[in-house]
Chains A and B, each alone.
Chain A
Amino acid sequence: MVEKWRLLDTGLRDAFYNMALDEAIAIARSKKLVPNTLRFFRWETSAVSIGYFQSMEEEVDIEACNRLGIDYVRRRTGGGAVYHDRDGELTYSLIVNEDHPLISRDFQKTYETLCSGIIRGLRILGVPAEFKPINDIIVDGKKISGNAQTRSMNVVHQHGTILRDVNPTLMFTVLKVPSEKIRDKMIKSVKERVTSVKNYLKREVRFEELKNALIRGFEETFNIKLVPGEVTDFEEQTAIKLKMEKYSTREWNFKR
């Protein structure tokens, strides 16, 4: 029988809730309250997330964010700073028990395995995506998806971005650049290094179409059935608490 995983689509939520719910699902999974889960989500308002080890002041132009109404949050995963555009980005999380056959003790291998579902999904759409170590998915040599992973409580949590559309100008308004002089140069270089489903296919791809392709990609690659489900009360309560006590606090966001 095909293994069943839960599919969540939590739509547009704020950055602090989004990060809190990811951790809440991981906690629920570790307590065996919920099955392995694929979650899709988006960001409202648009937001910047930084990796666990990054410094908020060094990576993010806080003033620009405040002026533009863009949230900023520290992730529980390592990796780099990411601008999450409300209309351009689809974000996913996978929360999987560590003893699952898809999970290797080797982090690099696990990235490649978990990303293979996304790659298959993108190929279904006609985007010839490939894995690029350490944690990227590229097409035509340009990045289309960035991913980050952590493990705790016997649970692997990987989340990442898939660019439906991309706005390099805004990206470098909110992320710090070494100097103003090279801002334009960096925007140009991002245009050469980053792409999106829309850029590649030269057509508008709606979020629903993208999600459906990714669902198929994961189902076929992992040999699973994704069953639409709901966030449980335990997860919701835990997420609200984590949002209040962790992800929305200055203490957490500015701790490094």
Chain B
Amino acid sequence: MFKAEYKVEGGKLIKVQLEKKDGKIDFIKITGDFFMHPEELIEDLEKTLIGCPLDETKITKAIKDFIKRNRVSLLGVAPEDFAKCIIKAGGGDG
């Protein structure tokens, strides 16, 4: 399991746990003290990210698309911050 934390400047803390396979996200859990509405969609967001390559641009786009499609609001974090934390957790070799 790969783990990382990322504190958004002037914002909230994101924690990511993930497993990867062939450079793609195989399992992911995003926790933290941020705000996302509607809350229940966090699990759908995680599901959406499974299979996504560990590439910051692609992850950011996947999250942005999800947010637009589902009319999600974020507070204290931005899609780019989630992506940064995900790359921090799983972006290296291994």
Chain A partners chain B: yes
Interface residues of A (CB under 8 A from B): 51-55, 58, 76-81, 107-108, 133-135, 148-152, 256
Max chain A C-beta neighbours (<10 A), residue from B11, B35, B38? B35
**Contact between A76 and B33 (Cβ–Cβ < 8 Å)?**
no
Question: Which chain B residues lie closer than 8 Å to A133 at the CB level?
Answer: 10
Q: How far is the CB of A114 from chain B (nearest CB, A)?
A: 14
A109–B31 Cα gap in the complex (Å)?
24
Contact (Cβ within 8 A) A150 B73 = no
- Tell me how far the C-beta of A4 lies from the nearest C-beta in chain B, rounded to whole angstroms: 28
Closest to B32 in A: A53
**In the complex, which of the residues B15, B34, B75 contacts A55, with contact meaning CB atoms closer than 8 Å?**
B15
For the side of the interface on B, what is the size category?
Answer: 20 to 34
Once bound together, how far apart are the Cα atoms of A136 and B15, in whole Å? 21
Verify A76–B31 contact, CB threshold 8 A: no
Chain B hits for A81, CB < 8 A:
33
A53 touches B34 (CB 8 A): yes
- Minimal Cβ-Cβ distance residue in A for B31: A55
A78-B36, A79-B35 given; A58·B15 CB < 8 A:
yes
Q: Is the pair B15, A52 in contact by a Cβ cutoff of 8 Å?
A: no
